[in-house]
Structures are given as structure tokens and as C-alpha cells.
């Protein structure tokens, strides 16, 4: 890590769940006195500008300067928050991502997007700030509760659905053993982590700033982000994305964009992972539509979606990989 980011001081940012497990070990790996541990409360509800402000003030009070590196130790929320701190502290210092969750390893730590949530929606304030290094140890997944593994599989299923039908089929087939006791520490889990990283990193390398191809990674996130925010983040990110993929694939079929059977295959994979598929009853269709119009992916007041044409391929190659669909069709599916 110090070879990739040689600096005078290291700020290890973690949360109240991961810190007690791994924080001390990571800090002790640096030269004495060069690293500090900064802990934030766990949970997406704490990914706010207030937490960002507190962290940056703590770094300043502790004497950190431009010769510092931020180390993000934790899941996707910590990665987003620490990346945003690194991208804005002293106008930008290096960040090293050390994801400890499945979702963090295969999605949040890859690509350099970072930011915070606001009352208006998810990730509406942030920066592109690529990590100088990503350190992944799949053995840390053995400590995760089962539900944390399930939610991570939403992104793995998404990667197969958008780019690799063989990987999609493999993940779906292996889900029972991967989610069984001991599955997270098995030899079959590491190839899943590796292939998902390859897919996402390959897409990001071709479109770092999301001006085109990278938009395909938003499959499930347009509806999913709206539902996640409207739930007050009671739904985990992976759960919301799973619902988003189930609904958006149905939208794609109903609009004549996706092959018949695409939605059924995606719903089957998500169901095998034990992930939710339906809009929560307490969140109305109109609230979801309103939230999507306020999302950063909307353009000229129109909601844009990343939609599959079939398993392993995405629609929209001629329109910047973003597709607009009439609200009436979306409303029918949401209903």
C-alpha cells in the first residue's frame, strides 16, 4: 500500500462495524505515528454532508495535510464517504480503497465515483476521484452476515446481465453453494469476485466519466435509487437495486426493448439470491416517478434508464447507452 501511495501520513476511515474488527490491524501496518483511525457511524443514513464535514474537520485538527493519503476501510458507504473526503480535502489527496463487503469489492470500490446523499436523493453531491490502489481480500467475506452477502449478489447478477451471459448463468447456478454456510470462504467465491471486478473495471476504463458506455452500470439503479431513498435507507442498497432490476427489466420487455424472457431470467436469479423483487407497498408509484426526475441521471426533465436487450447485452448503443421510456409504461410496471 505504501508503495502505491507513498506519503507522510495515512488517514484510515472506517465505520463502527468494521473498525473494531480490522481498524487496529490496518493502522498498525503503517510506520509508528504515521496513521490515524477515523470512525463514522455505520449505515447509509450517515452518508451525508454532515459526516463529510465532521471527517474533514477531524483530519484538519489532527494535522493532516496535502502529504496525506486516505484509506477507505469498509463497505460501499465507507468507500463513497472516504473517496469524497479524499477528493475534496486540500483540493484532492490520494485514496486507497480496502473494501470489506462483497458489494464494496465488486462495485463501490471500482471506478472512482464518490459522494454523499441529500434529502433530495442519493449520491447527488460528489466527485470522480479514482483510487490509486484497491486492496481486495475475499477471506474477509467469511465474517459477513448472510444478508450482506445476498445484497452483494445484486451487483454480481447485474454484471452478468449487462455484459456476460455465461457469467450470469454461472452465478445463478452456483448461488445455493455460495450462500451456504462456509460458501463465502470457499474456492468458488473468489472467481465471482474476480470476474465482477473485471467486468466493471473494463467498462470504467473505456468511459471513466460516464459520458457513454459506463451508463450501462446504472441498470436497476434508476428505479432502485429512488426506492432506496424513499425508504429512508431502510432498504439496503443491494435490495433496492434488485427491485430496480426486476422492475426495469419488465419495463424493457413491455416497451419492446428486451427479448421476451429477459425479465423472467433476471427475476429468477434475484429470487435465488433471496432478494426482493417488488415495489414496497408503502412507496407510491408517483413518488418513485418524482424521485427519478430529480435524479442526476435525468436529462431535460426526462428519466433515462439503462435497459437490457437480452441477458449479457444492453440497449441504447445508438443513444449513448441511455433509453427513455414513456411514464405510462413505467407506471404500469410499478403498479
Would you name the residues annotated as active-site residues?
91, 113, 155, 200, 210, 214, 218, 221, 225, 237
Q: Tell me which residue of 317, 157, 127 sits closest to 249, measured CA to CA.
A: 157
Distances (CA, A) of 335 to 224, 259, 263, 281, 327: 15, 22, 16, 10, 12
**Contact assessment for residue 51 and residue 118, using Cβ atoms and an 8 Å cutoff:** no
Distances (CA, A) of 192 to 62, 152, 168, 297: 40, 11, 10, 28
Grid cell listed for 237: 442498497
Question: DSSP string covering 138-171, please?
Answer: GGGGGGS-HHHHHHHHHHHHHHHHHH-HHHHHHH
Those residues with Cβ within 8 angstroms of residue 24's Cβ, 6 or more apart along the chain or in another chain: 37
At 4 the pLDDT is: 66
CB atoms under 10 Å from CB of 200, counted, come to 23
**Contact assessment for residue 267 and residue 308, using Cβ atoms and an 8 Å cutoff:** no
At 120 the pLDDT is: 86
Distances (CA, A) of 104 to 10, 58, 110, 124, 215: 21, 25, 8, 19, 19
Q: Tell me which residue of 39, 49, 113, 50 sits closest to 76, measured CA to CA.
A: 113
Using CA atoms, how far apart are residues 119 and 1, in angstroms rounded to an integer?
A: 36
SS3 48: coil
Note down pLDDT in tens along the chain; length 335 residues: 667 666 789 999 999 999 999 999 999 999 999 999 999 999 999 999 999 999 999 999 999 999 999 999 999 999 999 999 999 999 999 999 999 999 999 999 999 999 999 998 899 999 999 999 999 998 888 888 899 899 999 999 999 999 999 999 999 999 999 999 988 878 889 999 999 999 999 999 999 999 999 999 999 999 999 999 999 999 999 999 999 999 999 999 999 999 999 999 999 999 999 999 999 999 999 999 999 998 877 776 789 999 999 999 999 999 899 999 999 999 999 99
Using CA atoms, how far apart are residues 94 and 10, in angstroms rounded to an integer?
A: 10
Q: What are 14's strand-pairing partners?
A: 39
At 308 the pLDDT is: 98
At 5 the pLDDT is: 67
pTM over 0.75: yes
- Burial class, 63, CB count within 10 angstroms (exposed 0-12 / middle 13-18 / buried 19+): exposed
CA-atom Rg of the chain in angstroms: 19
Using CA atoms, how far apart are residues 50 and 70, in angstroms rounded to an integer?
A: 18
Using CA atoms, how far apart are residues 112 and 211, in angstroms rounded to an integer?
A: 14
Q: Tell me which residue of 98, 75, 95 sits closest to 29, measured CA to CA.
A: 98
Amino acid at each position: 500500500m505504501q508503495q502505491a501511495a507513498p506519503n507522510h501520513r495515512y488517514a484510515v476511515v472506517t465505520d463502527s462495524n468494521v473498525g473494531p474488527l480490522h481498524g487496529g490491524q490496518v493502522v498498525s501496518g503503517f510506520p509508528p505515528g504515521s496513521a490515524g483511525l477515523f470512525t463514522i457511524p455505520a449505515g447509509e443514513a450517515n452518508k451525508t454532508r454532515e459526516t463529510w464535514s465532521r471527517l474533514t474537520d477531524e483530519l484538519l485538527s489532527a494535522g493532516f495535510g496535502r502529504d496525506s493519503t486516505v484509506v477507505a476501510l469498509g463497505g460501499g458507504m465507507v468507500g463513497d464517504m472516504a473517496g469524497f473526503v479524499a477528493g475534496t480535502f486540500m483540493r484532492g489527496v490520494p485514496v486507497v480503497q480496502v473494501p470489506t463487503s462483497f458489494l464494496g469489492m465488486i462495485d463501490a470500490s471500482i471506478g472512482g465515483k464518490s459522494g454523499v446523499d441529500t434529502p433530495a436523493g442519493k449520491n447527488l453531491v460528489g466527485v470522480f476521484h479514482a483510487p490509486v490502489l484497491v486492496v481486495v481480500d475475499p477471506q474477509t467475506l467469511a465474517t459477513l452476515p448472510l444478508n450482506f452477502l445476498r445484497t452483494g449478489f445484486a451487483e454480481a447478477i447485474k454484471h452478468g446481465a449487462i455484459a456476460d451471459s455465461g457469467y450470469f448463468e454461472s452465478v445463478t447456478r452456483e448461488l445455493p453453494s455460495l450462500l451456504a454456510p462456509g460458501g463465502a470462504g470457499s474456492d468458488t467465491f473468489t472467481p465471482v469476485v474476480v470476474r465482477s471486478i473485471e467486468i466493471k473495471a473494463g467498462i470504467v476504463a473505456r468511459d471513466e466519466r460516464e459520458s457513454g458506455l459506463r451508463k450501462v452500470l446504472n441498470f436497476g439503479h434508476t428505479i432502485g435509487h429512488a426506492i432506496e431513498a424513499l425508504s429512508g435507507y431502510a432498504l439496503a442498497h443491494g435490495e433496492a437495486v434488485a427491485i430496480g432490476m426486476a422492475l426495469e427489466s419488465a419495463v424493457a420487455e413491455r416497451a419492446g426493448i428486451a427479448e421476451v424472457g429477459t425479465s423472467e431470467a433476471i427475476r429468477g436469479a434475484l429470487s435465488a439470491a433471496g432478494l426482493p423483487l417488488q415495489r414496497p407497498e408503502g412507496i407510491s408509484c408517483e413518488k418513485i416517478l418524482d424521485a427519478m426526475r430529480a435524479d442526476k441521471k435525468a436529462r431535460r426533465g426526462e428519466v433515462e434508464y439503462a435497459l437490457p436487450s437480452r441477458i449479457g447485452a444492453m440497449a441504447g448503443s445508438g443513444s449513448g447507452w441511455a433509453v427513455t421510456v414513456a411514464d405510462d409504461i413505467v407506471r404500469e410496471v410499478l403498479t
